[in-house]
Amino acid sequence: MTDKPLLRALKRQTVERPPFWFMRQAGRYMPEYRAVRADAGGFLDLCFNVDKAVEVTKQPLRAFGMDAAILFSDILVVPLGLGQKVWFEEGEGPRLEPIASVDDLEAYDPTALKQRLSPVFEVVSRLSKELAEEFEQTALIGFAGAPWTVATYMVEGRSSRNYENVKQWAYGDPASFGRLIDRLVESTIDYLSAQIEAGAEVVQLFDSWAGALDEAGQERWSFAPMAEIAQSLKQRYPHVPVIAFARQVGCNTLKLAKMGCFDALSLDHTVSLAFARDQLQPHVCLQGNLDPLMVVTGGDAMVRAADEIRQAWCDGPFIFNLSHGLIPPTPVAHVDELSRRLRQV
Ligand code: 1CP
């Protein structure tokens, strides 16, 4: 049996057509998701309810036939697993009891993480079995937030505009900030290893806020920790591809591509198509990079932009995706039209 198309692309093998999936493909833009979410209680209750999390992971596959399923969970379950208080304010977003020093973290017991997050691994294991029955060409992606992005939430206590506290800590006291990052590197390796043991075939690291750092900061707090995680996973699981998503780091993406430990880079829409094709694709599989607002817009603009990406990148290893997650106002009909087009050879 040949590999699933997404796995073939990640191994730089030829594919009949570029595989596709969308970041945040499960979510509030889908009425089926909203129905399950309404019955689940809070967002974190949904993440830890195995039946419901499996169901919402599969909803977009049924509706649009993506080539990958991404585990339904959130990057903030790792701080929760470490013992930090995390909750979601309805209609607002995540809240955490912020940490101000490594001492706050020392109170947490890192060995409890796998136990606390055991429902997540059960979701992966159920998905692994159920995809084999219902969607046999669909690959299962596990994920985690990259240490820097997770640290922004742990220190700011919420989504942030200026990253005042976390950047002052990182720039002003790198030695102690490094201990926080090291702790997150270790936890993320454990967390992703358990997802792989449960059946994840690919893992993606989300560094959504890498672009908030300056160049030296990106190398030290975004790229190096992600590489450490990827290298450690590669030692244990050499056949599991690792995708890195360092958002809005511009041409510094080239440094990531040359690190040699990532199989693919997920690119945001500010990255030039020609630069990615000429400079990055010789090193890694490209994933991206349609602006999710194009999918909100729909029509000719969406189709044209999607075709441009496909034309630019289809001669090398390539997975079609967005530059960031689908957002709630996205019309389902637009996701449907885009998916139909992407399924054509
Ligand atoms: O009310 C709801 O239904 C909650 C909305 C929601 C959803 C559907 C949140 C809250 N998280 C998720 C799921 C989620 N989050 C997935 C699931 C799989 C899929 O893609 O279908 C993934 C991969 C994430 C990852 C995630 N969570 C990231 C990294 C990717 C990105 O979008 O940048 C980040 C930064 C978060 C934090 C988060 N989770 C949710 C919110 C509102 C936020 C804050 C975002 C911000 O600070 O702007």
- Distance (angstroms) between ligand 1 centre and the Cα of 30 equals 15
> pTM for the complete prediction?
0.97
Determine phi and psi for 90, rounding to 5 degrees.
Answer: -55, 130
Pairwise CA distance, residues 96 & 154, whole Å? 6
Only one residue has tokens 């922004």, namely 152
- Distance (angstroms) between ligand 1 centre and the Cα of 140 equals 18
- Distance (angstroms) between ligand 1 centre and the Cα of 24 equals 7
Nearest CA to ligand 1 atom 39: 74
Nearest CA to ligand 1 atom 20: 24
String of b and e for 261-296 (b: at least 16 CB within 10 Å)?
bbbbbbbbbebebeebbebbbebbbbbbbbbbbbbb
List the chain domain ranges: 5-343
Only one residue has tokens 């937030």, namely 145
Nearest CA to ligand 1 atom 11: 74
C-alpha R_g of the chain: 19
Q: Which CATH number describes the domain made up of 5-343? A: 3.20.20.210
Pairwise CA distance, residues 274 & 154, whole Å? 37
Nearest CA to ligand 1 atom 6: 27
What are the residues facing 68 on neighbouring strands?
Answer: 139
Can you give the pLDDT of all 345 residues of the chain as single tens digits?
679 999 999 999 999 999 999 999 999 999 999 999 999 999 999 999 999 999 999 999 999 999 999 999 999 999 999 999 999 998 899 999 999 888 887 777 878 999 999 999 999 999 999 999 999 999 999 999 999 999 999 999 999 999 999 999 999 999 999 999 999 999 999 999 999 999 999 999 999 999 999 999 999 999 999 999 999 999 999 999 999 999 999 999 999 999 999 999 999 999 999 999 999 999 999 999 999 999 999 999 999 999 999 999 999 999 999 999 999 999 999 999 999 999 998
- Distance (angstroms) between ligand 1 centre and the Cα of 74 equals 6
Catalytic residue list: 24, 28, 37, 74, 153
**Residues with a CB atom less than 6 Å from ligand 1:** 23-28, 37, 43, 70, 72, 74-76, 93-94, 143, 145, 149, 159, 206, 208, 324-325
